[in-house]
Structure 1
Amino acid sequence: MRITAPALRSLMAVSTLAVGLTACQSVPEKSAFPQSDLKLIRSAPLQLPATCTATSSVVVDFTVLESGQTDNIRPAEGPECLQQALTAWVASFRYAPVTAETPASVEWLLVEARKGS
């Protein structure tokens, strides 16, 4: 399964909208999600081997360096093939340069559906 950059941006937009709609129901004293100035400018497609299967989401923690490159990539427990694929994918992320090293994470979840559904 390959996730293209436009599909990733759409997924992020839907996630942001869902969080925003949930936040409208109550006013937290402090934001549950810290503000981030990270701006993803490119990534390679996720290359998941056809024989690799996963049954749950996998969170990948990493650091965005001042240059915008990723470092210290740490996928959570999961099949080794998935950990390797996610590590390579996150290593391809390039962000706009930041003023200081910034911790970040991404959560991957396999969603299967029939084509056209």
Structure 2
Amino acid sequence: MESFEKGNILYHKRNYIEALEKYKEALLTNENNSTILYNIGVCFLKLERYFDSIEFFKKAISNSYNSKYFYNIGYCYTKLNNHKKALVYFNTSWAIDNSDDDCKNAINLILKKYKK
């Protein structure tokens, strides 16, 4: 079984640290694979390591524009209380996929804070 597949199994078991290691192994032979980079970012997100998460989501973006990559960076910035940066990434995500209700809700929550 491939490292990536093992990482997926571990991720679904919520074993994020071991999943992270398997994804990093998979990255050694597929260094520009956006899906692997994204999955590493998600593991860091689950471990509340937001700066590491942002780094890997940005690497994934450099290979492929996907609204969920931008959305997750926005989410990380929200968790880091940097709402201005969060709003930039949520808006970019929304521009790519304006049917994403989670993104729309995130934008509206931040805008409500600015209106106060």
TM class, shorter-chain normalised?
Answer: under 0.3
Instruction: Answer 1 or 2: higher relative contact order, Cα 8 Å, separation at least 6.
Output: 1
TM-score (norm 1): 0.22
TM-score (norm 2): 0.23
